[in-house]
Structure 1
Amino acid sequence: MTRQGGFRRVPRALARGRGGAVPGVDEAAAVSAWLGRYRGHTHTAYKRESSRFLDFVCSSGIAGGLVGATPAVFEEYARTRPSEDVARYGLQVLRSLYATLCERGVIKVNPVPVVKGSSRAKPSVHDKHFTQAELVTIGGVIDALAHEPGGHRRSYSTRRWIFWLLAYTGAQREEIAASSRRPALTMGNLHCFRQVEHATATCCWVLDVRDSAGLLRRIRLGDALVAELVRYRQSLMLNWHPRPDDETPLIVGNGWRPMGAQGIYTNVQAMFAAVASHLQGQGLESRLVARLEEATPYWLTRSFYALDRSGDNREERHTSKEMTHAVLD
Protein backbone atom coordinates (compact mmCIF):
# COMPACT_ATOMS: atom_id res chain seq x y z
CA MET A 1 0.00 0.00 0.00
CA THR A 2 1.34 3.44 -0.84
CA ARG A 3 0.86 6.64 1.13
CA GLN A 4 -0.52 9.80 -0.40
CA GLY A 5 -0.67 12.96 1.69
CA GLY A 6 -0.07 10.88 4.82
CA PHE A 7 -2.83 8.37 3.99
CA ARG A 8 -2.78 5.05 2.20
CA ARG A 9 -4.27 4.39 -1.19
CA VAL A 10 -6.38 1.33 -0.43
CA PRO A 11 -6.38 -1.54 -2.97
CA ARG A 12 -9.75 -2.82 -4.13
CA ALA A 13 -9.24 -6.09 -2.26
CA LEU A 14 -9.23 -4.20 1.03
CA ALA A 15 -11.75 -1.54 0.12
CA ARG A 16 -14.71 -3.35 1.69
CA GLY A 17 -14.62 -2.76 5.42
CA ARG A 18 -17.38 -2.67 8.00
CA GLY A 19 -19.01 0.25 6.18
CA GLY A 20 -19.37 -1.62 2.87
CA ALA A 21 -16.90 0.41 0.82
CA VAL A 22 -17.30 0.92 -2.90
CA PRO A 23 -14.34 -0.58 -4.81
CA GLY A 24 -12.01 1.64 -6.81
CA VAL A 25 -12.63 4.83 -4.80
CA ASP A 26 -9.51 6.72 -3.73
CA GLU A 27 -9.44 7.00 0.05
CA ALA A 28 -6.60 9.55 0.02
CA ALA A 29 -8.53 11.85 -2.34
CA ALA A 30 -11.57 11.68 -0.08
CA VAL A 31 -9.47 12.56 2.97
CA SER A 32 -7.85 15.44 1.08
CA ALA A 33 -11.29 16.73 0.11
CA TRP A 34 -12.35 16.61 3.76
CA LEU A 35 -9.25 18.46 4.95
CA GLY A 36 -9.72 20.99 2.15
CA ARG A 37 -12.83 22.27 3.90
CA TYR A 38 -10.71 23.65 6.73
CA ARG A 39 -7.92 26.18 6.97
CA GLY A 40 -5.20 27.30 9.32
CA HIS A 41 -5.01 25.74 12.75
CA THR A 42 -8.24 23.79 12.32
CA HIS A 43 -6.79 22.10 9.22
CA THR A 44 -3.59 21.32 11.14
CA ALA A 45 -5.46 19.94 14.16
CA TYR A 46 -7.81 17.79 12.06
CA LYS A 47 -4.98 16.39 9.97
CA ARG A 48 -3.03 15.57 13.13
CA GLU A 49 -6.01 13.80 14.70
CA SER A 50 -6.82 11.77 11.58
CA SER A 51 -3.15 10.85 11.08
CA ARG A 52 -2.95 9.75 14.71
CA PHE A 53 -5.93 7.48 14.18
CA LEU A 54 -4.40 6.02 11.00
CA ASP A 55 -1.19 5.25 12.92
CA PHE A 56 -3.32 3.50 15.53
CA VAL A 57 -5.08 1.46 12.83
CA CYS A 58 -1.76 0.48 11.22
CA SER A 59 -0.14 -0.50 14.52
CA SER A 60 -3.21 -2.56 15.43
CA GLY A 61 -2.95 -4.58 12.22
CA ILE A 62 -6.50 -3.78 11.12
CA ALA A 63 -7.02 -4.80 7.50
CA GLY A 64 -8.34 -2.18 5.12
CA GLY A 65 -6.89 0.93 6.71
CA LEU A 66 -9.41 3.65 7.43
CA VAL A 67 -12.26 1.92 5.63
CA GLY A 68 -11.68 -1.29 7.59
CA ALA A 69 -12.35 0.32 10.97
CA THR A 70 -15.42 -0.90 12.88
CA PRO A 71 -17.24 0.80 15.79
CA ALA A 72 -15.23 -1.39 18.18
CA VAL A 73 -12.01 0.02 16.72
CA PHE A 74 -13.10 3.57 17.52
CA GLU A 75 -14.08 2.59 21.05
CA GLU A 76 -10.67 1.00 21.54
CA TYR A 77 -8.98 4.09 20.10
CA ALA A 78 -10.93 6.35 22.46
CA ARG A 79 -9.64 4.34 25.42
CA THR A 80 -6.06 5.11 24.38
CA ARG A 81 -6.58 8.87 24.62
CA PRO A 82 -5.41 10.67 27.77
CA SER A 83 -8.81 11.95 28.91
CA GLU A 84 -12.54 11.73 28.22
CA ASP A 85 -12.60 15.20 26.69
CA VAL A 86 -9.68 14.42 24.37
CA ALA A 87 -11.38 11.18 23.31
CA ARG A 88 -14.68 12.97 22.62
CA TYR A 89 -12.90 15.60 20.54
CA GLY A 90 -11.07 12.93 18.53
CA LEU A 91 -14.25 11.00 17.79
CA GLN A 92 -16.02 14.19 16.71
CA VAL A 93 -13.21 14.88 14.23
CA LEU A 94 -13.25 11.30 12.95
CA ARG A 95 -17.04 11.27 12.59
CA SER A 96 -16.72 14.36 10.39
CA LEU A 97 -14.05 12.59 8.33
CA TYR A 98 -16.12 9.44 7.89
CA ALA A 99 -19.19 11.49 6.96
CA THR A 100 -17.15 12.79 4.02
CA LEU A 101 -16.06 9.25 3.14
CA CYS A 102 -19.76 8.34 3.01
CA GLU A 103 -20.57 11.35 0.84
CA ARG A 104 -17.87 10.40 -1.66
CA GLY A 105 -18.91 6.76 -1.79
CA VAL A 106 -15.81 5.34 -0.14
CA ILE A 107 -18.04 3.65 2.46
CA LYS A 108 -21.78 3.29 2.82
CA VAL A 109 -22.25 3.60 6.59
CA ASN A 110 -20.49 5.90 9.05
CA PRO A 111 -18.88 3.51 11.57
CA VAL A 112 -17.88 6.18 14.10
CA PRO A 113 -20.15 6.04 17.18
CA VAL A 114 -22.19 9.16 17.86
CA VAL A 115 -20.33 11.09 20.54
CA LYS A 116 -22.41 11.32 23.67
CA GLY A 117 -22.39 14.37 25.86
CA SER A 118 -19.82 14.64 28.58
CA SER A 119 -20.66 13.21 31.97
CA ARG A 120 -19.67 16.59 33.37
CA ALA A 121 -22.52 18.70 34.63
CA LYS A 122 -23.21 21.49 32.17
CA PRO A 123 -22.51 24.98 33.46
CA SER A 124 -25.45 26.86 34.92
CA VAL A 125 -26.56 30.10 33.31
CA HIS A 126 -24.60 31.98 35.98
CA ASP A 127 -21.37 30.30 34.84
CA LYS A 128 -21.81 30.99 31.13
CA HIS A 129 -19.21 33.70 30.91
CA PHE A 130 -15.42 34.02 31.05
CA THR A 131 -13.32 35.54 33.80
CA GLN A 132 -10.86 38.32 33.04
CA ALA A 133 -7.98 35.84 33.32
CA GLU A 134 -9.69 33.46 30.88
CA LEU A 135 -10.29 36.27 28.39
CA VAL A 136 -6.62 37.23 28.53
CA THR A 137 -5.58 33.59 28.03
CA ILE A 138 -7.89 33.18 25.03
CA GLY A 139 -6.65 36.43 23.50
CA GLY A 140 -3.04 35.30 23.93
CA VAL A 141 -3.73 31.99 22.20
CA ILE A 142 -5.42 33.77 19.29
CA ASP A 143 -2.22 35.78 18.84
CA ALA A 144 -0.10 32.63 18.99
CA LEU A 145 -2.27 30.86 16.40
CA ALA A 146 -2.01 33.80 14.00
CA HIS A 147 1.77 33.34 13.87
CA GLU A 148 1.75 29.57 13.38
CA PRO A 149 2.65 28.15 9.95
CA GLY A 150 -0.56 27.99 7.96
CA GLY A 151 -2.29 30.47 10.27
CA HIS A 152 -4.18 33.11 8.28
CA ARG A 153 -3.44 36.40 10.03
CA ARG A 154 -6.34 38.28 8.47
CA SER A 155 -8.77 35.62 9.68
CA TYR A 156 -7.37 35.65 13.20
CA SER A 157 -7.29 39.47 13.25
CA THR A 158 -11.01 39.48 12.46
CA ARG A 159 -11.73 36.86 15.11
CA ARG A 160 -9.71 38.74 17.68
CA TRP A 161 -11.66 41.93 16.90
CA ILE A 162 -15.02 40.15 17.21
CA PHE A 163 -13.86 38.52 20.44
CA TRP A 164 -12.91 41.74 22.20
CA LEU A 165 -15.77 43.75 20.66
CA LEU A 166 -18.33 41.43 22.26
CA ALA A 167 -16.45 40.99 25.53
CA TYR A 168 -15.62 44.67 26.07
CA THR A 169 -19.01 46.15 25.08
CA GLY A 170 -21.58 43.54 26.09
CA ALA A 171 -23.20 43.94 22.67
CA GLN A 172 -25.29 41.13 21.22
CA ARG A 173 -23.92 39.66 17.99
CA GLU A 174 -27.23 40.56 16.31
CA GLU A 175 -26.58 44.21 17.17
CA ILE A 176 -23.22 44.34 15.43
CA ALA A 177 -24.03 41.99 12.52
CA ALA A 178 -25.23 42.87 9.05
CA SER A 179 -28.98 42.38 8.68
CA SER A 180 -31.66 42.91 6.04
CA ARG A 181 -33.76 44.65 8.70
CA ARG A 182 -31.35 47.53 9.24
CA PRO A 183 -28.31 49.14 7.59
CA ALA A 184 -25.04 47.33 8.20
CA LEU A 185 -22.73 48.92 10.74
CA THR A 186 -19.64 50.58 9.33
CA MET A 187 -16.57 52.13 10.87
CA GLY A 188 -18.41 55.42 10.35
CA ASN A 189 -20.77 54.36 13.17
CA LEU A 190 -17.84 54.91 15.53
CA HIS A 191 -17.77 58.52 16.70
CA CYS A 192 -15.29 60.56 18.67
CA PHE A 193 -17.01 62.72 21.30
CA ARG A 194 -15.82 65.23 23.79
CA GLN A 195 -17.19 64.35 27.21
CA VAL A 196 -17.34 67.08 29.80
CA GLU A 197 -16.82 65.92 33.38
CA HIS A 198 -16.05 68.29 36.24
CA ALA A 199 -15.26 71.10 33.78
CA THR A 200 -12.70 68.88 32.02
CA ALA A 201 -13.23 67.82 28.41
CA THR A 202 -11.88 64.47 27.25
CA CYS A 203 -12.26 62.68 23.93
CA CYS A 204 -13.85 59.25 23.89
CA TRP A 205 -15.08 56.84 21.22
CA VAL A 206 -18.61 55.50 21.09
CA LEU A 207 -20.37 52.99 18.84
CA ASP A 208 -23.95 53.57 17.71
CA VAL A 209 -25.98 50.35 17.49
CA ARG A 210 -29.68 49.52 17.33
CA ASP A 211 -31.18 46.85 19.54
CA SER A 212 -33.82 44.29 18.53
CA ALA A 213 -36.53 46.93 18.99
CA GLY A 214 -34.74 49.34 16.66
CA LEU A 215 -33.81 51.72 19.46
CA LEU A 216 -30.49 53.53 19.18
CA ARG A 217 -27.90 52.70 21.82
CA ARG A 218 -24.59 54.47 22.21
CA ILE A 219 -21.84 52.22 23.58
CA ARG A 220 -18.67 53.76 24.91
CA LEU A 221 -15.36 52.14 23.96
CA GLY A 222 -12.77 51.95 26.71
CA ASP A 223 -9.07 52.44 26.07
CA ALA A 224 -8.37 48.72 25.70
CA LEU A 225 -11.04 48.32 23.01
CA VAL A 226 -9.85 51.44 21.16
CA ALA A 227 -6.42 49.80 21.06
CA GLU A 228 -8.05 46.67 19.58
CA LEU A 229 -9.82 48.84 17.00
CA VAL A 230 -6.51 50.39 15.95
CA ARG A 231 -4.93 46.95 15.73
CA TYR A 232 -7.78 45.60 13.58
CA ARG A 233 -7.70 48.58 11.22
CA GLN A 234 -3.94 48.18 10.82
CA SER A 235 -4.49 44.55 9.79
CA LEU A 236 -6.85 45.88 7.09
CA MET A 237 -4.20 48.41 5.97
CA LEU A 238 -6.37 51.34 7.10
CA ASN A 239 -5.59 54.52 9.00
CA TRP A 240 -5.65 54.12 12.75
CA HIS A 241 -8.94 55.89 13.48
CA PRO A 242 -12.10 55.95 11.34
CA ARG A 243 -13.70 59.12 10.07
CA PRO A 244 -17.48 59.77 9.99
CA ASP A 245 -17.64 58.95 6.26
CA ASP A 246 -15.72 55.65 6.59
CA GLU A 247 -17.77 52.95 4.79
CA THR A 248 -15.54 50.06 5.88
CA PRO A 249 -17.75 47.39 7.53
CA LEU A 250 -17.43 47.27 11.30
CA ILE A 251 -16.60 43.57 10.85
CA VAL A 252 -15.21 42.78 7.41
CA GLY A 253 -16.47 39.52 5.92
CA ASN A 254 -15.78 37.77 2.61
CA GLY A 255 -15.38 40.11 -0.33
CA TRP A 256 -15.07 43.08 2.03
CA ARG A 257 -18.80 42.78 2.76
CA PRO A 258 -20.29 43.27 6.24
CA MET A 259 -20.33 40.06 8.26
CA GLY A 260 -23.74 38.69 9.25
CA ALA A 261 -24.84 37.09 12.52
CA GLN A 262 -24.18 33.57 11.21
CA GLY A 263 -20.70 34.58 10.08
CA ILE A 264 -19.95 35.99 13.52
CA TYR A 265 -21.25 32.81 15.16
CA THR A 266 -19.19 30.58 12.86
CA ASN A 267 -16.00 32.59 13.42
CA VAL A 268 -16.40 32.66 17.20
CA GLN A 269 -17.11 28.93 17.38
CA ALA A 270 -14.13 28.18 15.12
CA MET A 271 -11.99 30.40 17.32
CA PHE A 272 -13.15 28.62 20.49
CA ALA A 273 -12.40 25.23 18.88
CA ALA A 274 -8.94 26.32 17.72
CA VAL A 275 -8.04 27.78 21.12
CA ALA A 276 -9.27 24.66 22.92
CA SER A 277 -7.31 22.42 20.55
CA HIS A 278 -4.15 24.48 21.07
CA LEU A 279 -4.43 24.45 24.86
CA GLN A 280 -5.25 20.75 24.82
CA GLY A 281 -2.22 20.01 22.67
CA GLN A 282 -0.02 21.88 25.14
CA GLY A 283 -1.58 20.16 28.14
CA LEU A 284 -2.69 23.51 29.56
CA GLU A 285 -5.85 24.96 31.11
CA SER A 286 -7.95 21.78 31.16
CA ARG A 287 -10.81 23.61 32.90
CA LEU A 288 -10.83 26.38 30.29
CA VAL A 289 -10.72 23.78 27.49
CA ALA A 290 -13.84 22.14 28.93
CA ARG A 291 -15.60 25.51 29.14
CA LEU A 292 -14.64 26.43 25.58
CA GLU A 293 -16.31 23.22 24.39
CA GLU A 294 -19.57 24.49 25.90
CA ALA A 295 -19.20 28.17 24.98
CA THR A 296 -21.15 30.23 22.45
CA PRO A 297 -20.75 33.89 21.38
CA TYR A 298 -23.31 34.82 24.04
CA TRP A 299 -20.73 33.90 26.69
CA LEU A 300 -18.67 36.89 25.54
CA THR A 301 -21.65 39.22 25.87
CA ARG A 302 -22.35 37.89 29.37
CA SER A 303 -18.68 38.26 30.29
CA PHE A 304 -18.98 42.04 30.12
CA TYR A 305 -21.82 42.18 32.64
CA ALA A 306 -20.33 39.51 34.91
CA LEU A 307 -17.01 41.34 35.10
CA ASP A 308 -18.81 44.65 35.58
CA ARG A 309 -20.65 43.27 38.62
CA SER A 310 -17.45 41.84 40.05
CA GLY A 311 -15.54 45.08 39.57
CA ASP A 312 -13.05 43.24 37.34
CA ASN A 313 -14.04 44.97 34.10
CA ARG A 314 -11.62 47.52 32.78
CA GLU A 315 -14.17 49.01 30.39
CA GLU A 316 -17.06 51.39 30.86
CA ARG A 317 -20.36 51.45 28.99
CA HIS A 318 -22.89 54.21 29.37
CA THR A 319 -24.70 56.96 27.51
CA SER A 320 -23.74 60.44 28.60
CA LYS A 321 -26.09 63.39 28.37
CA GLU A 322 -23.08 65.70 28.24
CA MET A 323 -21.48 64.35 25.05
CA THR A 324 -20.81 66.77 22.23
CA HIS A 325 -19.41 65.73 18.87
CA ALA A 326 -15.73 66.40 18.38
CA VAL A 327 -14.27 67.50 15.08
CA LEU A 328 -11.73 65.01 13.75
CA ASP A 329 -8.61 66.51 12.27
Structure 2
Amino acid sequence: MSELRRDYFLDRWVIIATDRARRPSDFIRAREPPGGAQGCSFCPGFEDKTPPSKASYFDGDHRPDEPGRPPLTGWTVRVIPNLYPAVKEGGVMLMNDMSLSASGVHEVIVESPVHDRHPQFMSDDEIKRLFRVYRDRFSKIAKIPYVRYISLFRNYGREAGASLAHAHSQIIALPIVPREITDQRGLDYGPVIKEESGSPRAVLESAHTVAIAPFASCYTYEVWVIPKRKCRNIAEMTDEERDDFAVTSRDALSRLSKLLSDPPYNYAFVQSIDDDVYLHLCIYPKLGIEAGFELNTRVHINSVTPESAAKSLREI
Protein backbone atom coordinates (compact mmCIF):
# COMPACT_ATOMS: atom_id res chain seq x y z
CA MET A 1 0.00 0.00 0.00
CA SER A 2 1.39 3.43 -0.89
CA GLU A 3 2.16 5.81 1.94
CA LEU A 4 2.35 9.57 2.55
CA ARG A 5 5.42 10.40 4.63
CA ARG A 6 6.34 13.68 6.28
CA ASP A 7 9.82 15.15 6.62
CA TYR A 8 11.54 14.79 10.01
CA PHE A 9 10.96 18.47 10.79
CA LEU A 10 9.24 20.35 7.99
CA ASP A 11 5.69 20.29 6.65
CA ARG A 12 7.00 18.60 3.51
CA TRP A 13 5.44 15.40 2.21
CA VAL A 14 6.32 12.61 -0.21
CA ILE A 15 4.32 9.73 -1.63
CA ILE A 16 6.14 6.42 -1.27
CA ALA A 17 4.40 4.61 -4.13
CA THR A 18 5.01 0.96 -3.23
CA ASP A 19 2.52 -0.15 -5.89
CA ARG A 20 5.07 1.17 -8.37
CA ALA A 21 7.97 -0.59 -6.64
CA ARG A 22 11.02 -0.91 -8.86
CA ARG A 23 14.37 -2.71 -8.66
CA PRO A 24 17.78 -0.98 -8.99
CA SER A 25 18.22 -2.47 -12.46
CA ASP A 26 15.05 -0.68 -13.61
CA PHE A 27 16.88 2.65 -13.25
CA ILE A 28 19.90 1.69 -15.33
CA ARG A 29 19.57 3.21 -18.78
CA ALA A 30 21.76 4.23 -21.64
CA ARG A 31 23.21 7.69 -21.11
CA GLU A 32 24.64 10.16 -23.53
CA PRO A 33 28.43 9.64 -23.46
CA PRO A 34 30.26 12.35 -21.50
CA GLY A 35 32.53 14.70 -23.36
CA GLY A 36 36.07 13.52 -23.93
CA ALA A 37 39.23 15.10 -22.60
CA GLN A 38 40.50 16.26 -26.01
CA GLY A 39 40.57 20.05 -26.02
CA CYS A 40 38.97 20.26 -22.56
CA SER A 41 39.69 23.70 -21.09
CA PHE A 42 39.91 22.26 -17.56
CA CYS A 43 42.60 19.71 -18.45
CA PRO A 44 46.32 20.40 -17.85
CA GLY A 45 47.94 22.28 -20.69
CA PHE A 46 44.86 24.35 -21.45
CA GLU A 47 45.02 26.70 -18.47
CA ASP A 48 45.12 29.70 -20.81
CA LYS A 49 41.55 28.87 -21.91
CA THR A 50 40.19 29.71 -18.45
CA PRO A 51 40.29 32.87 -16.33
CA PRO A 52 43.33 33.13 -14.01
CA SER A 53 43.06 30.88 -10.97
CA LYS A 54 41.94 32.27 -7.63
CA ALA A 55 43.76 29.42 -5.88
CA SER A 56 45.83 26.46 -7.00
CA TYR A 57 46.79 23.37 -5.00
CA PHE A 58 50.00 21.40 -5.45
CA ASP A 59 50.23 18.04 -3.66
CA GLY A 60 48.77 19.41 -0.44
CA ASP A 61 50.16 22.95 -0.69
CA HIS A 62 48.24 25.83 -2.20
CA ARG A 63 48.60 29.47 -3.04
CA PRO A 64 46.56 32.03 -4.99
CA ASP A 65 47.73 32.95 -8.44
CA GLU A 66 49.32 36.37 -8.74
CA PRO A 67 47.56 38.87 -11.05
CA GLY A 68 49.06 38.73 -14.53
CA ARG A 69 51.01 35.57 -13.76
CA PRO A 70 50.95 32.88 -16.48
CA PRO A 71 48.63 29.94 -15.71
CA LEU A 72 50.13 27.47 -13.27
CA THR A 73 50.79 23.86 -14.22
CA GLY A 74 51.46 20.83 -12.06
CA TRP A 75 48.34 21.51 -10.00
CA THR A 76 46.07 19.00 -8.26
CA VAL A 77 43.05 21.32 -7.81
CA ARG A 78 42.29 24.73 -9.32
CA VAL A 79 39.70 27.33 -8.33
CA ILE A 80 38.67 29.67 -11.14
CA PRO A 81 35.93 32.27 -11.72
CA ASN A 82 32.96 30.95 -13.69
CA LEU A 83 33.26 32.21 -17.24
CA TYR A 84 29.49 32.85 -17.36
CA PRO A 85 28.66 33.82 -13.79
CA ALA A 86 25.11 33.84 -12.43
CA VAL A 87 26.19 36.61 -10.04
CA LYS A 88 29.02 39.13 -10.20
CA GLU A 89 31.32 40.43 -7.51
CA GLY A 90 30.64 43.91 -6.24
CA GLY A 91 28.55 45.79 -3.73
CA VAL A 92 24.83 45.16 -3.48
CA MET A 93 22.56 47.81 -4.98
CA LEU A 94 18.90 48.14 -4.07
CA MET A 95 17.10 48.44 -7.41
CA ASN A 96 13.55 48.74 -6.04
CA ASP A 97 11.55 47.35 -3.13
CA MET A 98 11.42 43.92 -4.81
CA SER A 99 14.87 43.51 -6.34
CA LEU A 100 18.60 43.75 -5.67
CA SER A 101 21.59 43.66 -7.96
CA ALA A 102 22.73 40.07 -8.50
CA SER A 103 25.93 40.56 -6.52
CA GLY A 104 27.95 37.62 -5.30
CA VAL A 105 30.64 35.12 -6.21
CA HIS A 106 30.49 32.31 -8.77
CA GLU A 107 33.47 29.95 -8.79
CA VAL A 108 34.33 26.62 -10.36
CA ILE A 109 36.47 24.10 -8.48
CA VAL A 110 38.35 21.96 -11.00
CA GLU A 111 38.66 18.91 -8.78
CA SER A 112 41.46 17.03 -10.48
CA PRO A 113 43.87 17.27 -13.42
CA VAL A 114 42.45 13.87 -14.46
CA HIS A 115 39.45 14.56 -16.71
CA ASP A 116 37.09 11.93 -15.28
CA ARG A 117 38.28 11.65 -11.65
CA HIS A 118 34.89 12.33 -10.12
CA PRO A 119 34.37 12.02 -6.33
CA GLN A 120 32.85 8.52 -6.58
CA PHE A 121 36.14 7.34 -8.09
CA MET A 122 38.58 9.30 -5.89
CA SER A 123 41.12 7.85 -3.48
CA ASP A 124 40.98 8.77 0.21
CA ASP A 125 43.69 11.40 -0.28
CA GLU A 126 41.92 12.94 -3.29
CA ILE A 127 38.52 13.26 -1.63
CA LYS A 128 40.06 14.65 1.57
CA ARG A 129 41.91 17.26 -0.50
CA LEU A 130 38.70 18.23 -2.31
CA PHE A 131 36.81 18.74 0.96
CA ARG A 132 39.72 20.81 2.28
CA VAL A 133 39.38 23.04 -0.78
CA TYR A 134 35.65 23.30 -0.03
CA ARG A 135 36.56 24.46 3.48
CA ASP A 136 39.14 26.95 2.24
CA ARG A 137 36.82 28.57 -0.30
CA PHE A 138 33.92 28.72 2.15
CA SER A 139 36.15 30.42 4.72
CA LYS A 140 37.51 32.89 2.17
CA ILE A 141 34.17 33.87 0.65
CA ALA A 142 32.39 34.08 4.02
CA LYS A 143 34.58 37.10 4.85
CA ILE A 144 33.06 39.18 2.02
CA PRO A 145 30.80 41.69 3.84
CA TYR A 146 27.76 41.44 1.56
CA VAL A 147 27.74 37.63 1.28
CA ARG A 148 25.04 36.04 3.42
CA TYR A 149 24.85 32.53 1.94
CA ILE A 150 27.28 30.23 0.14
CA SER A 151 25.89 27.45 -2.04
CA LEU A 152 28.39 24.64 -2.58
CA PHE A 153 27.14 22.02 -5.03
CA ARG A 154 28.01 19.53 -7.74
CA ASN A 155 26.23 18.46 -10.94
CA TYR A 156 27.28 15.15 -12.50
CA GLY A 157 26.05 14.17 -15.94
CA ARG A 158 24.09 16.12 -18.53
CA GLU A 159 20.79 14.98 -17.02
CA ALA A 160 21.84 16.62 -13.75
CA GLY A 161 22.78 19.90 -15.39
CA ALA A 162 26.53 19.48 -15.95
CA SER A 163 27.54 21.37 -19.09
CA LEU A 164 31.20 20.25 -18.89
CA ALA A 165 32.36 16.67 -18.39
CA HIS A 166 35.62 17.41 -16.54
CA ALA A 167 35.31 16.76 -12.79
CA HIS A 168 34.25 20.01 -11.13
CA SER A 169 32.11 21.54 -8.38
CA GLN A 170 30.66 25.04 -8.13
CA ILE A 171 30.18 27.76 -5.55
CA ILE A 172 27.61 30.52 -5.79
CA ALA A 173 27.57 33.06 -2.96
CA LEU A 174 24.53 35.31 -2.53
CA PRO A 175 23.58 38.50 -0.65
CA ILE A 176 20.40 36.76 0.56
CA VAL A 177 19.61 33.60 2.53
CA PRO A 178 17.28 31.28 0.55
CA ARG A 179 14.14 29.96 2.22
CA GLU A 180 15.45 26.39 1.92
CA ILE A 181 18.15 27.41 4.40
CA THR A 182 16.05 29.60 6.69
CA ASP A 183 13.68 26.63 7.05
CA GLN A 184 16.65 24.71 8.52
CA ARG A 185 17.28 27.19 11.33
CA GLY A 186 17.25 25.60 14.75
CA LEU A 187 16.75 22.02 13.51
CA ASP A 188 18.65 19.42 15.55
CA TYR A 189 19.63 16.35 13.56
CA GLY A 190 21.06 14.67 16.66
CA PRO A 191 17.84 12.73 17.37
CA VAL A 192 17.60 11.79 13.67
CA ILE A 193 21.13 10.37 13.80
CA LYS A 194 20.28 8.43 16.96
CA GLU A 195 17.04 7.10 15.48
CA GLU A 196 18.43 6.17 12.07
CA SER A 197 21.78 4.65 13.09
CA GLY A 198 21.22 0.93 12.85
CA SER A 199 17.72 1.41 11.42
CA PRO A 200 16.59 -0.09 8.08
CA ARG A 201 17.39 3.30 6.51
CA ALA A 202 21.05 3.36 7.58
CA VAL A 203 23.52 3.18 4.70
CA LEU A 204 26.94 3.80 6.28
CA GLU A 205 28.36 4.82 9.63
CA SER A 206 31.91 5.89 10.53
CA ALA A 207 33.58 7.45 13.55
CA HIS A 208 32.21 10.95 12.95
CA THR A 209 29.57 10.56 10.23
CA VAL A 210 26.39 8.70 9.27
CA ALA A 211 24.80 8.25 5.85
CA ILE A 212 21.09 7.49 5.64
CA ALA A 213 18.24 7.17 3.17
CA PRO A 214 15.91 9.74 4.78
CA PHE A 215 12.48 8.58 5.98
CA ALA A 216 10.64 10.86 3.53
CA SER A 217 13.05 10.63 0.59
CA CYS A 218 11.85 12.93 -2.18
CA TYR A 219 14.24 11.39 -4.70
CA THR A 220 14.81 7.74 -5.50
CA TYR A 221 17.99 6.49 -3.74
CA GLU A 222 18.46 9.88 -2.07
CA VAL A 223 21.18 9.85 0.61
CA TRP A 224 22.01 12.32 3.37
CA VAL A 225 25.52 12.37 4.86
CA ILE A 226 25.41 13.91 8.35
CA PRO A 227 28.26 14.69 10.79
CA LYS A 228 27.61 13.36 14.28
CA ARG A 229 28.72 16.65 15.88
CA LYS A 230 26.69 19.69 14.98
CA CYS A 231 28.53 22.29 12.91
CA ARG A 232 27.04 25.19 10.98
CA ASN A 233 29.41 24.73 8.05
CA ILE A 234 32.38 22.77 6.79
CA ALA A 235 34.83 25.37 8.13
CA GLU A 236 33.76 24.58 11.72
CA MET A 237 34.72 20.91 11.47
CA THR A 238 38.00 19.60 12.84
CA ASP A 239 40.43 18.19 10.28
CA GLU A 240 39.63 14.66 11.49
CA GLU A 241 35.88 15.22 11.26
CA ARG A 242 36.14 16.76 7.79
CA ASP A 243 38.32 13.94 6.46
CA ASP A 244 35.87 11.37 7.85
CA PHE A 245 32.94 13.29 6.35
CA ALA A 246 34.73 13.36 2.98
CA VAL A 247 35.48 9.64 2.88
CA THR A 248 31.96 8.67 4.00
CA SER A 249 30.49 10.94 1.30
CA ARG A 250 32.78 9.32 -1.29
CA ASP A 251 31.76 5.85 -0.10
CA ALA A 252 28.06 6.71 -0.44
CA LEU A 253 28.64 8.04 -3.96
CA SER A 254 30.70 4.97 -4.86
CA ARG A 255 27.91 2.64 -3.74
CA LEU A 256 25.36 4.58 -5.76
CA SER A 257 27.68 4.39 -8.77
CA LYS A 258 28.08 0.62 -8.47
CA LEU A 259 24.41 -0.09 -7.76
CA LEU A 260 22.94 2.13 -10.50
CA SER A 261 25.70 1.97 -13.13
CA ASP A 262 27.14 5.41 -12.39
CA PRO A 263 23.94 7.49 -12.56
CA PRO A 264 23.80 11.26 -12.98
CA TYR A 265 23.40 13.06 -9.67
CA ASN A 266 23.46 16.36 -7.85
CA TYR A 267 24.85 16.94 -4.41
CA ALA A 268 24.60 20.04 -2.28
CA PHE A 269 25.74 21.10 1.18
CA VAL A 270 23.15 22.36 3.64
CA GLN A 271 25.17 24.86 5.69
CA SER A 272 25.24 28.46 6.83
CA ILE A 273 27.72 31.23 7.55
CA ASP A 274 26.24 32.24 10.89
CA ASP A 275 22.69 30.88 11.16
CA ASP A 276 21.85 27.99 13.50
CA VAL A 277 21.88 25.30 10.79
CA TYR A 278 23.08 21.68 11.07
CA LEU A 279 25.60 20.96 8.30
CA HIS A 280 24.88 17.95 6.09
CA LEU A 281 25.32 16.84 2.49
CA CYS A 282 22.33 15.80 0.36
CA ILE A 283 22.92 13.47 -2.60
CA TYR A 284 20.18 13.36 -5.23
CA PRO A 285 20.52 10.72 -7.98
CA LYS A 286 18.89 12.03 -11.16
CA LEU A 287 16.70 9.05 -12.02
CA GLY A 288 13.51 10.80 -13.07
CA ILE A 289 12.01 14.20 -13.74
CA GLU A 290 9.80 16.59 -11.84
CA ALA A 291 6.49 16.52 -13.71
CA GLY A 292 3.28 18.50 -13.38
CA PHE A 293 2.16 17.01 -10.06
CA GLU A 294 5.50 17.67 -8.35
CA LEU A 295 5.72 21.20 -9.72
CA ASN A 296 2.13 21.94 -8.75
CA THR A 297 2.23 20.50 -5.21
CA ARG A 298 5.94 20.14 -4.31
CA VAL A 299 4.91 16.63 -3.23
CA HIS A 300 7.28 14.12 -4.82
CA ILE A 301 6.45 10.53 -5.79
CA ASN A 302 9.15 7.99 -4.92
CA SER A 303 8.76 4.45 -6.28
CA VAL A 304 11.48 2.93 -4.05
CA THR A 305 11.13 2.88 -0.28
CA PRO A 306 14.07 4.38 1.61
CA GLU A 307 14.36 1.09 3.49
CA SER A 308 14.77 -0.84 0.23
CA ALA A 309 17.20 1.75 -1.15
CA ALA A 310 19.35 1.63 1.99
CA LYS A 311 19.37 -2.17 1.99
CA SER A 312 20.59 -2.28 -1.62
CA LEU A 313 23.28 0.31 -0.88
CA ARG A 314 24.48 -1.52 2.23
CA GLU A 315 24.80 -4.77 0.35
CA ILE A 316 26.62 -3.45 -2.73
Q: Which has the greater radius of gyration?
A: 1
Q: TM-score, structure 2 length as denominator?
A: 0.23
TM-score (norm 1): 0.22
Higher helix share: 1
| Structure with a larger share of its residues in strand | 2
